[in-house]
Structure 1
Amino acid sequence: MASNRPQDHRSGNVRTSDGVELAYDQHGESSKPSIIFLPGWCQTALQWRKQYEDLGQHFHVTTYDYRGHGSSEKTNRGYRIARFAADLNDILVRLNLNDVTLVGHSMGCSVMWSFWDIFVTERHRIKSLILVDQTSCMLPRPGWSEEQAKEIGTLFTQQSLDEFAIALQSDARATMSQFVPAMFTDKAAKEDVAWTLERNLMIDSKSAATLLLDHVKNDWRDVLETINVPTLVVGATGSFCPMSALDYLVAHIPGARLVAIEKEEGGSHFMFWESPEKFNALVRRFIGTGEVST
């Protein structure tokens, strides 16, 4: 794929407060508005390459690999959302980033919500949030009706979660070979799906399962109402994450707005990959003017 990568490119490592090396990349001039892209579960920073090659011309873009993912250090500790939130805080502080728009995809939203919940004194660094295709609670709570679970957009039962985690540790490639294609529309290029699969398999299966179990058990509903920065929620009509989950976010985050990308336009869980022009234009408008229409 031809690259429009800006010449102003920097890469390096940030050492976290518990001693793990995280690989990061920055694109664009440091004087421009700052964006940090946070990938989803088992994904790497390169999943955002269609964003930083374009948006790096307009913004100062930072991407990084979570611990155990991609080019970051492989470690046997810290595979929980709270620790990933602490790692995000280390990135912000060590790189001295301010007035940042955080863009989180899927599990990346949970990392953002955990950061917002725990690192209250560092919230001043955050200018705005873009939440991409993630429900605030993935596992029904005891006593919930089917209607409550549907409204909030839960994606697992305890049984299906346990079965998925066991299968992942038994045969990660076979399990992910079924899971990854479900994140794309049927129009996605086979080589893109295959590339994504290989990136997802860069984390060892035990760590991936540990992280998934922690990710799914969290309930972020009480955090939503505390968010007091401009927030854009992005969904897709062709995603397994139901629109009801995103409607719930908008109803409970003060002032939040929602845009959905249609399936026919590449609106999958990976809409930023299948429909990058539309997604990138949406990000540019939201950060620049507050407009959210597609």
Structure 2
Amino acid sequence: MAEQVKLAYRESGKGKNIVLIHVFCGNKDYWKEIETRLSSSYHVWVLDMRGHGETEATEPGYSIHDMAEDVYEFIEDKNLQDVFLFGHSMGGYITLDFARNHPDVLSGYGLIHSTAYPDSEEAKKKRSAGVSKVMEQGVNLFVKELVPNLVAEKTKENNQSIIGKLFDIGIETNPKGVIGALKAMRDREDLSSVLEDNKLPVLLVAGAEDKVVPPEKTFIANGSHVNQVLIEKAGHMGIFETPDEVSRAIASFVDEHSK
């Protein structure tokens, strides 16, 4: 197991603790639109994962589980109680690992445009190719090719400013952080059983236009503990494309399951 890393963060608001984990090649600024909407009613903590944002980059070779343990150390250090943990895409992989190993810390958790399934063999090859590309050509070109596929077609046509923001944040990611995250995502476990077996309340949010994690890969569990929300106009970036809907889904879930 890799050594734990102290995570950079931002906090705002008061009330129930909501912790937000960003996507691959993102950072805490990805959540600004959601944070602004939630912090009037909740205590919102937004984290930078290792090698992203202001958190130090460590040598690649760590796992999704190691990244989840970084989050656990953060929550323990801040002595947060009854936490609601939400992760976007890669952040969802981290959130699910956390929920498997530390369910007693959580009041509920959510996967936003994410899945419990592991990478397919084809996806694993793409991750490995991405590692080579970053090593040979740097982060900028990699992010430039990554970003356009993250949004719905209508966003591409009507809101280029979102693509600009995603690019500007993405290219700031430390190359070691990009490579480390690619390898961690490539090698992650199948955690679909956690969604079924762990009876903690879980929120699953999917974008109808998401080409990266389509809804059928998000909505893989049912039960009284599972809340499913489909956002019609969102691609993989509902937190930018449809922040009102994503914020409402999170707030409604937290209110329903607060102790």
Relative to the length of structure 1, the TM-score reads 0.78
Mean Cα displacement is larger for which, 193-202 or 61-70?
193-202
* Secondary structure of 2:125's aligned partner: helix
* Secondary structure of 1:21's aligned partner: coil
- The residue correspondences of 1:116-265 to structure 2 (distance < 5 A) are 116-119=99-102, 123-140=103-120, 156-171=122-137, 172-188=139-155, 189-218=159-188, 219-240=190-211, 241-248=213-220, 250-251=221-222, 255-263=225-233
CA contact (8 A) 1:137 1:216 kept: no
Bigger Rg over Cα: 1
CA contact (8 A) 1:168 1:176 kept: no
* Secondary structure of 1:225's aligned partner: helix
Separation in 1, partners of 2:96, 2:135: 27
Q: Give a deviation string over 1:116-149, Cα, whole Å, max 9, x none.
A: 2334xxx2220011211112224237xxxxxxxx
CA contact (8 A) 2:202 2:227 kept: yes
1:270 is aligned to 237
Letter of the 1:242 counterpart: P
CA contact (8 A) 1:43 1:69 kept: yes
CA contact (8 A) 2:48 2:54 kept: yes
Percent of paired sites with the same residue: 23
- CA 163–128 in structure 1, closer or farther in 2 if over 3 Å, else same: same
Separation in 1, partners of 2:127, 2:49: 22
Instruction: Please report how far the alpha carbon of residue 283 of structure 1 lies from its aligned counterpart in structure 2 after TM superposition.
Output: 1.5
Letter of the 1:275 counterpart: T
Could you tell me which runs of 5 or more consecutive residues in structure 2 were left unpaired when the two chains were aligned: none
Count, aligned residues: 250
Separation in 1, partners of 2:224, 2:198: 7
1:64 aligns with 2:35: no
Letter of the 1:215 counterpart: M
CA contact (8 A) 2:82 2:105 kept: yes
Find 2:29's aligned residue among 23, 46, 69.
Answer: 46
Separation in 2, partners of 1:50, 1:210: 27
* Secondary structure of 1:135's aligned partner: coil
1:3 is aligned to none
* Secondary structure of 1:43's aligned partner: coil
CA contact (8 A) 1:78 1:84 kept: no
Instruction: Please report how far the alpha carbon of residue 247 of structure 1 lies from its aligned counterpart in structure 2 after TM superposition.
Output: 2.4
Separation in 1, partners of 2:197, 2:224: 8
Letter of the 1:106 counterpart: S
Letter of the 1:202 counterpart: E
* Secondary structure of 2:8's aligned partner: strand
Separation in 2, partners of 1:40, 1:85: 13
Question: What is the root-mean-square deviation in Å for CA atoms of aligned residues?
Answer: 2.1
Letter of the 1:258 counterpart: Q
Instruction: Please report how far the alpha carbon of residue 43 of structure 1 lies from its aligned counterpart in structure 2 after TM superposition.
Output: 0.9
Instruction: Please report how far the alpha carbon of residue 166 of structure 1 lies from its aligned counterpart in structure 2 after TM superposition.
Output: 1.7
Q: Could you say which structure has the greater relative contact order, defined with CA pairs below 8 angstroms and 6 or more residues apart?
A: 2
- CA 139–68 in structure 1, closer or farther in 2 if over 3 Å, else same: closer
Letter of the 2:198 counterpart: I
- CA 286–163 in structure 1, closer or farther in 2 if over 3 Å, else same: same
Separation in 1, partners of 2:61, 2:132: 20
* Secondary structure of 1:207's aligned partner: helix
Could you tell me which runs of 5 or more consecutive residues in structure 1 were left unpaired when the two chains were aligned: 1-16, 142-155
Letter of the 2:144 counterpart: S
Instruction: Please report how far the alpha carbon of residue 225 of structure 1 lies from its aligned counterpart in structure 2 after TM superposition.
Output: 2.7
